[in-house]
Structure 1
Amino acid sequence: MSSQRPALLESALDDVNLLLEHLDSAAAEWQPWIDRVAPEHRDGALNLARYCAMRQVDVRDLQRRLAGLGLNSLESAEAHVQQSLRAVALALSQMLGAAPLSASTADFAEGARVLNRNAEDLLGPRPAGRAARIMVTMPTQAATDPTLVAGLLDSGMEIARINCAHDDAQIWRAIAAQIADHTGRHCLIAMDLAGPKLRTGPIEPGPQIIRLRPTRDARGEVLVAARAWLTSAGAPAPSPRPGLPTVPVGGGWLRRLRAGDIIELRDTRRSRRWLEVEQICPVGVVVSCDQTVYLGTGTQLKVVGEEGASVIGELPAVTQFLRVRAGDTLRVTRDLSPAPASAEPARIGCTLPEVFDCAGVGDRVCFDDGKISGRIVEVAHASFDVRVDAPLEEAKLRAGKGVNVPDTDLRISALTDKDRADLAEIVALADIVQFSFVRDPADVEQLFDELDRLGASDLGVVLKIENRGAFENLPQLLLSAMRRRRVGVMIARGDLAVECGYERLAEVQEEILWLCEAAHIPVVWATQVLEQLAKSGVPSRAEISDAALAQRAECVMLNKGAHIADAVRALCDILARMTGHQDKKTALLRPLRSWESPAAAVGDTP
């Protein structure tokens, strides 16, 4: 043995024993919290307290020394902190000759067993061939389309998510009924509370016009004519072809049209234009044109060579937006009357009045998932001014977009009056309620009180970690939630990235995973998983890697999209493959079949 080796062993043993003492004192400090959790979570709560204590210390140097000695370097100790440290201390003592040679009696698998049990209680049984369940957000059409629901179940969905920020109770009940109709299939229902709405207010509507524009090649030749659907203003009917703009006209005039008729008009620019009747249907006609045409409410239409005319009925107003860029000042107001699209300075309302009582100069404000951001430079009772920092190029800010104020302490309840009303439906339909905008233990208490009032104390609860306050209070939120048996956490990475900064998201999502594993609490990995695949049918390379990382959670959530069934199938495949390679932070060394036999060296003779 090297002359320095005993000193290295003694130094490492001293540090490990100091850590164990630190864990004991920390557990005593957390004891009032631990005493309140459900009996099923008592060990997880104690382990969480110990893990938080260990992670308050920089143990990287100790890890390097332990690894150099061939010992457990604590990199996967989340589920069993004290057992890991005691096992290392025993091994060091044995190497010093201060303890008899014997195996550690610690049960390192117990934490994983408890986590798996808690995951099954909340999220249902573990699917065959993969560790993580798949949750899918239900689109509105799931209420009336049984084939959509069946396709998602066939593809691998285990949990259907209904977002109560959209649709209404009638639609939610219809979606739940569609899922229940598929008897023999195990599919839970999770319903998200909407939470406080912090969004941009309305913007004045634009002109009531429709633009028809043909597709041209590089030389300007028409490749595809522009088309529209003319239907009766009194009894409008949907277009027989998807995507055609609808133009309401007089019913009597419409019925006199014939295929090949040429309709002349002057558009909203006073340009003379012609539309050709291309297809006659019982409830309308398809017209085409090879020039750009701007049709407006009141535009007169007349068939060439015929008597009589019609005018275009009410068209939808063009949706307008504000244009902002770095250096601009944007005024955010309590007033929710529609904002003009071209005011100086630009102004827009905010749907949460409490933000004006809490915001301060210097606070960050982010709009539309962080696409536009800045800091407050002036505060008044009815408004505050934001100096825009990003983006450098001009961006469009529309009505109804999310607003994040990560530096502002919003003194509001996470449980709104709408949420309380929606809970009556949720407890009747759902297996899990997902709690939006939660920030501190008082929010959890309010939700539990409301569930008790409704006689639903055993309803599964998932805390959505989507703001900085929730992340910073995560240990306390976990211990508060663990008063109930069926609890979990969602990493809601969309708002979380805006609140904590995109550059910190990778770090933050890891820390949430670690704390939840220490507490033996299951995690839902959410937001933009395979989003490009779900929407376009073609995945990006980066989102495949992201989906592979999601395997460390107990459930992965997909959002809706035209190709959502394809995304579910792809996610099933990715998760199944990664289950053989990774278990939480532990790499699994399954056999690799990519290189079956050694290749011949260059120059070798066969």
Structure 2
Amino acid sequence: MASLADTAPAPDALIEEVEALRARLVRAERDQSARLDRVAERHRASARNLVHYVALRAEDLRPLQDALSAVGLSSLGRMEAGVLGHLDAVLTALHALAGHAPRPGDPVPSPAEEAAPLTPAAGRDVLEERAEQLLGPVRPERDTRIMVTLPSEAADDPDLVRRLAAAGMDLARVNCAHDDEAAWERMIAHVRADAAEGRPAPRVAMDLAGPKLRTGPLEPGPRVRKVKPGRDVDGRVLVSSRVWLGAADAPEAEDAVVVPLAPGAEDVLGRLAPGEQAMLTDARDSDRVLTVRAATGAGVLLTCEKTVYWATGTEVDTPHGTLTAGELPTTARAMRVHGGEQIVLTRSMEPQPAVTEPPYVIGCSLPQAFRDVSPGDRVLIDDGKITGRVDANDGERITLTVIGAGPSGAKLKAEKGVNFPDTYLDLPALTEEDRSRLPFAAAHADVVNMSFVRSAEDVAQLIDALEAEDAQDVEISLKIETVEAFERLPAMLLEAMRWDGVGVMIARGDLAVEAGFERMAELQEEILWLCEAAHVPAIWATQVLESLAKDGLPSRAEITDAAMAQRAEAAMLNKGPYIVEAVEALSDILERMAGHADKKRDMLRRLRSWSL
């Protein structure tokens, strides 16, 4: 049987291979000297390391990894934060293994090095420092911060903000696509007021909306509210339906469907008693018997064993007179589409009728699409629930055939995202609306998140706009939402390093739609590697514990996904009725995962994603 000495590669051969690899990385640095010269001085070493890493990953290093492992040395799996320093440590060990004298300096000195190259440990220290600058301090019990998208009600509910911070929120995200400056100012004031003993107030990040790529409106549906009882699988009623006919802010409205009550009902309400019965004919002309469970001056709580379709003006006959339902909101309509059917996107954003057979016509909010989209391009609607391929574009109408909508079809709704993964859309990432928001963001935010960024030129636009606002103390974060942004990320990071504080948000929802869900795991991992090489904090975003935040119960897959978030410097939660519970759960998961982050060994095949 052959011994290890017979099968392991000779140290001298490995020295030659590693030194040649190091020389290629240094040449890459020289080639990028013009870009590196534009980087802020504090980021210069990080930018060089980024260039080294991109050059390193342009090669398939798996044979070298195996060869180094065979002689008991590092397999290069955790070198992102300090590429040259790590290679130098490997070379030192190889020379010792070969019995050579200590190495007299680097075989090929880096053109910009005045001291020894960064080691991975030193690079990780730099990353931690940058993360604290951008995202604030970590909590003692975990290594990953939690960012939370504030709902609109946070503007008038300081207690909600307090509960979020107590649950574990480290950063509050304000989305400029919703609400207005007055509401944002109130939200931010609540956040700034929420410092606690041993914990600073959460930092504030503001999202610039970027270009709006959404479906247009549909004509509203009727003002009807369907209320049904809870039934078992055999159809037997387990829980009666509960309707509070009255003011929405009454305590009795909790745990009931609220239907507004028309004015002038005080006399009837004052005479109603629990146990009395009432009658109505609902919007579908069905007669229903209801039972009074409680009555106050603000309204009446009614239960029913059958489904009731309430409408504006529905009359409820009681033993003491008639109550009338007030103005109900319109119902949102949708069109169910199937594979092979036609959808027509129109430049006009006028509300369209919700039809039941093709062609299904709906507006598209982005005028540039009608200039840039070509036949054969794919169009993805509502996070990819509907996929179409363009048949024609006459400049006013884009006709497409549905090629994916699930076996039962999918609902085409208003105000849903539209993606054009095969189309280069010639439009700026920084819209006029974004520019109008920048003065407010510069005055109130700690971080500005740039949406739909796709190039170094887009990053330069944001930096120039912030400089014009004299907002050098505001950090920036680049939202990676498209395949274009992913492929150009190294160049975008080098441009962003002109600025003082820089981060990256991995917007996994849009990115998964554009790249395909099959590639998503690979892309998010590669972005994390690249950010570590650049010493740029990463924010793990989109659909983190989404089922828990929206419905109160997480899926098993969400728990595993949330645990992966500890690989980033921050994880972002979106709003939902159970957002406080979601923050508590994520904080608990991250605490349990603290310390496990380094239990991996990456295999370094060649990456074709990036070049400089």
Aligned counterpart, 1:131:
143
Deviations 1:101-127 (A, max 9, x none): 899976522212221221122122233
After TM superposition, the score normalised by the length of structure 1 is 0.89
Which one of 35, 38, 42 corresponds to residue 37 of structure 2? 35
Q: How does 1:501-580 map to 2 (within 5 A)?
A: 501-580=516-595
Which one of 2, 15, 18 corresponds to residue 20 of structure 2? 18
Mapped partners of 2:343, 2:124: distance in 1: 51
1:227 corresponds to 2:242: yes
CA deviation after TM superposition for structure 1 residue 312, in Å = 4.7
Structure 1 SS opposite 2:485: helix
CA deviation after TM superposition for structure 1 residue 274, in Å = 3.7
Compared with structure 1, are the counterparts of its residues 327 and 269 closer, same or farther at alpha carbon in structure 2 (3 Å cutoff)?
same
Which one of 132, 149, 156 corresponds to residue 120 of structure 1? 132
Q: How does 1:323-402 map to 2 (within 5 A)?
A: 323-342=336-355, 343-390=357-404, 391-402=406-417
Compared with structure 1, are the counterparts of its residues 573 and 279 closer, same or farther at alpha carbon in structure 2 (3 Å cutoff)?
closer
- 8 Å CA contact 2:277–2:290 kept in 1: the answer is yes
CA deviation after TM superposition for structure 1 residue 454, in Å = 1.2
Q: Which amino acid aligns with 1:142?
A: A
CA deviation after TM superposition for structure 1 residue 446, in Å = 1.1
1:408 corresponds to 2:410: no
CA deviation after TM superposition for structure 1 residue 239, in Å = 7.4
Which one of 58, 61, 66 corresponds to residue 59 of structure 1? 61
Greater CA deviation, 345-354 or 91-100? 91-100
RMSD: 2.8
Mapped partners of 2:561, 2:227: distance in 1: 40
CA deviation after TM superposition for structure 1 residue 262, in Å = 4.7
CA deviation after TM superposition for structure 1 residue 241, in Å = 1.8
1:165 corresponds to 2:167: no
Compared with structure 1, are the counterparts of its residues 223 and 422 closer, same or farther at alpha carbon in structure 2 (3 Å cutoff)?
same
Q: Which amino acid aligns with 1:145?
A: D
Q: Which amino acid aligns with 2:126?
A: V
Aligned counterpart, 1:155:
167
- 8 Å CA contact 1:552–1:584 kept in 2: the answer is no
Aligned counterpart, 1:48:
50
Mapped partners of 1:58, 1:461: distance in 2: 33
Q: Which amino acid aligns with 2:190?
A: Q
Mapped partners of 2:234, 2:52: distance in 1: 71
Structure 1 SS opposite 2:408: coil
Mapped partners of 1:112, 1:222: distance in 2: 60
- 8 Å CA contact 2:388–2:400 kept in 1: the answer is yes
Mapped partners of 1:237, 1:493: distance in 2: 37
- 8 Å CA contact 2:262–2:323 kept in 1: the answer is yes
Compared with structure 1, are the counterparts of its residues 273 and 72 closer, same or farther at alpha carbon in structure 2 (3 Å cutoff)?
closer
Q: Which amino acid aligns with 2:164?
A: L
Compared with structure 1, are the counterparts of its residues 33 and 280 closer, same or farther at alpha carbon in structure 2 (3 Å cutoff)?
same
Deviations 1:174-201 (A, max 9, x none): 1111122234541211111111111111
Deviations 1:364-412 (A, max 9, x none): 2111111221222222211212222222321112111111111111111
Q: How does 1:280-319 map to 2 (within 5 A)?
A: 280-303=295-318, 312-319=325-332
Greater CA deviation, 243-252 or 163-172? 243-252
1:76 corresponds to 2:78: yes
- 8 Å CA contact 2:268–2:322 kept in 1: the answer is no
- 8 Å CA contact 1:214–1:224 kept in 2: the answer is yes
After TM superposition, the score normalised by the length of structure 2 is 0.88
Compared with structure 1, are the counterparts of its residues 226 and 584 closer, same or farther at alpha carbon in structure 2 (3 Å cutoff)?
same
Structure 2 SS opposite 1:190: strand
CA deviation after TM superposition for structure 1 residue 219, in Å = 5.4
Mapped partners of 1:123, 1:264: distance in 2: 58
Mapped partners of 1:282, 1:2: distance in 2: 89
- 8 Å CA contact 1:326–1:393 kept in 2: the answer is no
Mapped partners of 2:316, 2:546: distance in 1: 44
1:475 corresponds to 2:490: yes
Compared with structure 1, are the counterparts of its residues 550 and 103 closer, same or farther at alpha carbon in structure 2 (3 Å cutoff)?
farther
Mapped partners of 1:383, 1:464: distance in 2: 30
Compared with structure 1, are the counterparts of its residues 133 and 29 closer, same or farther at alpha carbon in structure 2 (3 Å cutoff)?
same
CA deviation after TM superposition for structure 1 residue 327, in Å = 1.9
Aligned counterpart, 2:606:
none
- 8 Å CA contact 2:341–2:358 kept in 1: the answer is no
Unaligned runs of 5+ in 1: 588-606
Compared with structure 1, are the counterparts of its residues 550 and 267 closer, same or farther at alpha carbon in structure 2 (3 Å cutoff)?
closer
- 8 Å CA contact 1:334–1:353 kept in 2: the answer is yes
Unaligned runs of 5+ in 2: 107-115, 603-612
- 8 Å CA contact 1:332–1:384 kept in 2: the answer is yes
Mapped partners of 1:554, 1:249: distance in 2: 50
Mapped partners of 1:460, 1:166: distance in 2: 21
Q: How does 1:156-305 map to 2 (within 5 A)?
A: 156-184=168-196, 185-186=199-200, 187-217=202-232, 220-231=235-246, 240-242=252-254, 244-248=256-260, 250-252=262-264, 255-256=267-268, 258-259=272-273, 262-303=277-318
Mapped partners of 1:269, 1:145: distance in 2: 39
- 8 Å CA contact 2:339–2:402 kept in 1: the answer is yes
Identity across the alignment (%): 48
Count of aligned pairs: 582
CA deviation after TM superposition for structure 1 residue 352, in Å = 1.1
Structure 1 SS opposite 2:38: coil
- 8 Å CA contact 2:480–2:511 kept in 1: the answer is yes
Mapped partners of 1:248, 1:78: distance in 2: 59
Which one of 437, 440, 444 corresponds to residue 425 of structure 1? 440
Deviations 1:404-450 (A, max 9, x none): 11111111111112211222211121111111111111111111111
Q: Which amino acid aligns with 1:195?
A: G
- 8 Å CA contact 2:472–2:500 kept in 1: the answer is no
Aligned counterpart, 1:498:
513
Aligned counterpart, 2:609:
none
Mapped partners of 2:349, 2:255: distance in 1: 32
CA deviation after TM superposition for structure 1 residue 497, in Å = 0.9
Structure 2 SS opposite 1:280: strand
Mapped partners of 1:55, 1:70: distance in 2: 22
Mapped partners of 2:220, 2:9: distance in 1: 77
Structure 1 SS opposite 2:533: helix
Structure 2 SS opposite 1:44: helix
Mapped partners of 1:320, 1:395: distance in 2: 13
Compared with structure 1, are the counterparts of its residues 124 and 273 closer, same or farther at alpha carbon in structure 2 (3 Å cutoff)?
closer
Mapped partners of 1:41, 1:17: distance in 2: 26
- 8 Å CA contact 1:229–1:239 kept in 2: the answer is no
